[in-house]
Structure formats: C-alpha cells, structure tokens
A and B are shown apart, each in its own frame.
Chain A
Amino acid sequence: MNNRVGGSLCANWLLGAALSIPAVAGSAETAAQPVEPTPRTADGHPDLGGYWGSGFTGLPITPGPSDGKSYSFTLNVRNGDISNLTNDGVIARRSTNNLPLYKPEHWERVEDLDYNGNLEDPFNSCMPPSVPRMGPPRRIVQLGDEMLMLYAVQFQRNDYRSIPIGARRQPVDRDGTYLGDPIGRWDGDTFVIETEGFNDQSWIGPQGYIHGYEMKVTERLRREGDKLIYDVTVEDPEYLQRPWVRDTVTLTRIKDPNYRMEEAPPCSDRDNRNLVGKQREM
C-alpha cells in the first residue's frame, strides 16, 4: 500500500520527466544527425517561432490486444512495481553532479527543504515554478520587438512570458515577482534573455534550491536547423558561491500542423497534507 502519492505530485513527476530527458536524448541526436538549414525571419534573425518538444517519448509501454473499443497495455517497470518507475526516474534525474554551489550557511536548509519537499516545495502548493525551473518554452511567438513564450507541461500549469527586445525602458521592479522582469537581445544568432526582479518565494529546482531577490537568470536560445538549444546561467551572490550553469537542453521542433498545447487542469494542493512519506517525485 502506498499512501503518499497525490495527483498533483504525479503531475510533478511528469514535469520532471519532461524537463530532464531532453538533456540526454537531445544531445545525442545533435551529434548524430546533420543540421538542417536554420530558417530566418524577415529581419535576418534565426526564426525561433513554433512549437518545441522535449524529446519525452512516453512511458515504457507495450501495447496489448485491442478490439477497437477497449485497450490493454503492459507498463514495463522493474520488478513489476509501479513505485519503481518513480523511484528510478528520480534517482536518474538527480544523479547529476552539476549542482548549484550554495554558500555553506545555506547547505542544511537546502537539504532539509528537499527532504521535506513534499510539503515545503512551493510548486506543490500551486505556486508558479518560476525561471529557470519552468524550463524552456513549449511555444515561441517571435515578433520584431517582443518574444512571447508559452509554457505547458501535461498536467501542469500553463504560463507565458513576454520578453521585450531592446534596451530596458524602466528600472527593474525590485519588489520582485515569480517570473521576474526580463529583457531580451540578440547576440549574433543567439537570443539572450536577462531576467532580474524576482521575489524569493520560488525554487530554481525541485531539490530545495532556494534563491534571493538579487537573483539574475540569463537564458540563451539558439536554433540549429530543427533543434533549439537552451542554456541557462543563474547568478545569486546572496546565496550562491558562483554562477550555476545548468546542463544544456536541446529541443526538437514539432512539425505536426495539428499540434496544440494542452490545457492544464486546475491546480489543487489538497493532497499534500495526506502525504506520510518523504519520497520525492521530482
């Protein structure tokens, strides 16, 4: 009997899976496949517009017999125990040694927040995942002086960001917001987003990665053929000993003309208080 899992946390598992898998799968694809020509917009910049997929190819399912009305599947999990799907996924995603190097006075708090993350993680209470935890955009709408980025992960939130391009016209709002105050610019063929003005309520990763008001996040997006390469650097002199350069994520353009973003269900945190275990799903 497993008493700890709620629907919202399963959704979080999907978030984790969707965000982590492309870093591995995408890199391999980039090395193996020839790069297609990169389309450009009328103003000469690479065309980043469109839908971008994570490379998540689904669960290890073997389809079974079907009469067209009912379907059967075999989910291949270790020892036939569904909890191993979660456990093995969490351990694999967290095996990286690329961790943010916090100042020592924050180590124990980060560790404890992660350990108690089922209750402490603001994302589990329906708070926004923030930048860069929300990962790369699912859809980009490229305008001349603005970039619109739409975010969706199945069973998660729908979010959007509007990135003005050019010089900042007003001071950063230091009262802080979850998504911060971004400004975009082109650095050659790379679109660079610098975001400041965050509040300190979100985590930059599901592992208890807290941050402060002084955090600055620099995202770099460049297109190579049908691949979108996404790099992130996090600076926070109040919390981090040095900038944290996250692992590169490579996305693939979704060419299906019928593809649409899914609508996320309403978020509910009512399950969290029923959790009796410490096991995380992200």
Chain B
Amino acid sequence: MQHSATLAAVLLFWMCMVRAAEAPLAKGAAPAAPVQAGRPALKTRPVGDAAIIRTVADAMGFVRGVGRNETTNTLNRLQWRGKGQMTVGTAVYPITRYVYTVSLHLKGAREDITRTVQGKPERSVRVVLDQDAWDEREPGIDGRIAAGAARNRRLQLARTPLGFTRALLDADPASVKVVDPGAAGKVTLAFAVEGVALAATLDANYRPERIEMLVDGQRIVDRYSAYRDLSEYGVMFATRWTESIDGRPHLNLTIDDARVASYAVFPKPTATAAASPTAPVPPTAP
C-alpha cells in the first residue's frame, strides 16, 4: 500500500516538475484565449439519442473523471458576469453589472443586476432556492419573500446553457425528443421542465445556441454564442447572450468573466421577512 502510494507521489511530483519547468509567458505578453481543457474537437457526429445527450454534457463540461469514476454530477456552483443592456417596452437601460450565481445541486440561483435608470444605478437581486424565492437589497441582505416567483426563476435557470444541460441530464431520457438533423441540419432537443415545454437547437459543437420556452403565455427565446472556457476548468460559458420575449428584444449581454465552484450560498430570509412589494427592475423572465 505504502509502496504504491509512494510510487504515485513520485510520479505526480515528476509531472509537477515538468509542468513547473514550462516557460512562463514573456513579460507583457497577453495570455492566449483559454480553450476548454482536455476537450478535443468533435471528429465524428454522435449517433443516437443517448450519444447526443452525452456529447452535449461533455461539450458543456459536465463530464468529469474517467472510466468507472466518470460522472456528470460534480459540477455544482457556477457564476458568470457581464454587462449589456435591457429593453423594457421602448426604454433601453444599460446594464453595468450582471452577475448570475448558480447552485445546480440545490436548484438555487441569484441574479444580481445593476442597470442605469435616469443616470443613476439601480440594483435588483432576485434569488430562488428550490421552492422558495425572495429578493434582496444586496446579496444576502434584507431578503423579502417573492411569493409565487420560484417556479419562473427555476425555469429561467433551465434556459441558461448550463442549467439547460443539467435539466437535460435530469430528464427521463425517454422523454427527450432528439431530432438529428433538424431544421437547417442542426440537432434539436425537446423535453419538458416542470411541465413547461423546452425546445433547444444545438450549434455545431453540440452546445445550445437557441432555447425556447412558453411561460405563462409568453414566448421566451434565449440565443447563445461564442462559447469560451472562461473559468479555465473546462466549463463552457456563452459569452454572447440575447433574450427576447414575444419577439421583442429584452436582454443583450456580453459575458466576460466566469467562476466555477467558488463561494455561493443562498440562506433563506427569516419567515418574518415582509413580502417584496414590487421588484425594482423588470424581471428578465416573466
């Protein structure tokens, strides 16, 4: 036992030394654009529903481990940040800071938006944790129950590329309708999330480029592109994101920062917290 452990340690030490000996970047040189670690480009098109679903999971960074230790369940806490604009009616508001924090295991999400309204910053923090939803003045501060909002916030999570992938993996495989090739030769997936029909179109790398849901009579369409391994852990984040509601533009965001497995907690506000009167910022989803 000790011999094999020592052997493993020696080998790892050797590998570490090899990597440490690699030359650092020259002074002033910009690091190369990150690519997904260890994710070779697709050489062959997967055949069959199960193979396509697994390819989606792998393309997004969910597949971890190797052999009998392979799993798609270790990816949990995620966060992406960016900026852009929000359109409400005819008004367009610059979003100076957008932060979306997720716990896939807990079905939790915190959407933290700072937009400019009449020249002043206005912040909206909306949280969901499984069956509970609340709004906060700042993350973790002054939580106020948002009655009836939990379902739609969970659906919002399922329309994000990583939330979609989790929902796809959690769905009964027999309930997922895979069409290959679908329209324009692209793969399409359709399944239900909490009874709501979800339709997705995959890009050439088997990552979602369009996700559509009909929620409370409104057709919400999210489009994603320019995936990058922003976190450097091999998790792919869409750096371009637009959302429309009933065909009208709603969100237009550029994501430029992402974090994997960093600190994210969702403590519920105390039961005595007052209900939130009205959300100060129009929601990104109904």
Q: Which A residues contact B (CB, under 8 angstroms)?
A: 1-3, 5-7, 9-11, 13-14, 56-61, 73, 75-84, 87-88, 90-92, 94-95, 97, 99, 101-104, 107-108, 110-111, 114-115, 154-155, 207-208, 241, 254, 256, 258-259, 271, 274, 276-279
Q: Interface segment, B60-68, B151-159, B193-201, B241-249?
A: B60-68
How many residues on the B side are at the interface (Cβ–Cβ under 8 A)?
58
Q: Could you say which residues of chain B place their CB within 8 Å of the CB of A103?
A: 140
Q: Which B residues contact A (CB, under 8 angstroms)?
A: 1-2, 4-5, 7-9, 11-13, 15-17, 19-20, 22-25, 31, 34, 37-40, 63-67, 69-71, 73-77, 79, 103, 105-106, 138-141, 231-234, 259-265, 267
Of chain A, the residue at the smallest CB distance from B261 is: A94
Q: Which 7 pairs across A and B sit closest by C-beta, in order of nearness?
A: A104-B140, A81-B38, A10-B16, A58-B8, A94-B261, A84-B38, A274-B24
Q: Could you say which residues of chain B place their CB within 8 Å of the CB of A14?
A: 9, 12
Shortest C-beta distance, B249 to chain A (Å), equals 31
Question: A56 touches which one: B5, B73, B74, B259 (CB < 8 A)?
Answer: B5
B24 x A111 contact (CB < 8 A) = no
CA distance A92 to B22 in the complex (A): 27
B2 x A155 contact (CB < 8 A) = no
Of chain A, the residue at the smallest CB distance from B69 is: A60
A10 x B12 contact (CB < 8 A) = yes
Given pairs A77-B38, A110-B263, A208-B263, 8 additional interface contacts (CB within 8 A): A61-B8, A78-B65, A83-B38, A88-B64, A92-B74, A111-B262, A155-B9, A208-B262
Q: Could you say which residues of chain B place their CB within 8 Å of the CB of A208?
A: 262-263
CA distance A9 to B20 in the complex (A): 9
Q: Could you say which residues of chain A place their CB within 8 Å of the CB of B262?
A: 111, 114-115, 207-208
Of chain A, the residue at the smallest CB distance from B62 is: A91
A58 x B64 contact (CB < 8 A) = no
Give 26 CB contacts A-B under 8 Å. Answer: A3-B22, A3-B24, A3-B25, A5-B19, A7-B13, A10-B13, A56-B5, A59-B11, A77-B38, A78-B65, A81-B37, A82-B15, A84-B38, A84-B234, A91-B233, A97-B106, A101-B265, A102-B265, A107-B265, A115-B262, A155-B9, A155-B16, A207-B262, A241-B267, A274-B24, A278-B231
A90 x B261 contact (CB < 8 A) = yes
Shortest C-beta distance, A242 to chain B (Å), equals 9
B2 x A104 contact (CB < 8 A) = no
A279 x B232 contact (CB < 8 A) = yes
Shortest C-beta distance, A254 to chain B (Å), equals 8
CA distance A76 to B69 in the complex (A): 11
Of chain B, the residue at the smallest CB distance from A1 is: B22
B263 x A114 contact (CB < 8 A) = yes
Of chain B, the residue at the smallest CB distance from A260 is: B2
CA distance A11 to B17 in the complex (A): 10
Shortest C-beta distance, A96 to chain B (Å), equals 8
CA distance A77 to B67 in the complex (A): 9
CA distance A10 to B267 in the complex (A): 34
B22 x A277 contact (CB < 8 A) = no
Question: B37 touches which one: A58, A73, A84, A111 (CB < 8 A)?
Answer: A84
Question: B16 touches which one: A1, A11, A61, A277 (CB < 8 A)?
Answer: A11
B64 x A276 contact (CB < 8 A) = no
CA distance A10 to B106 in the complex (A): 31
CA distance A180 to B67 in the complex (A): 43
CA distance A103 to B139 in the complex (A): 10
A87 x B37 contact (CB < 8 A) = yes
Q: Could you say which residues of chain A place their CB within 8 Å of the CB of B264?
A: 99, 111
Q: Could you say which residues of chain B place their CB within 8 Å of the CB of A155?
A: 9, 13, 16
B77 x A94 contact (CB < 8 A) = yes
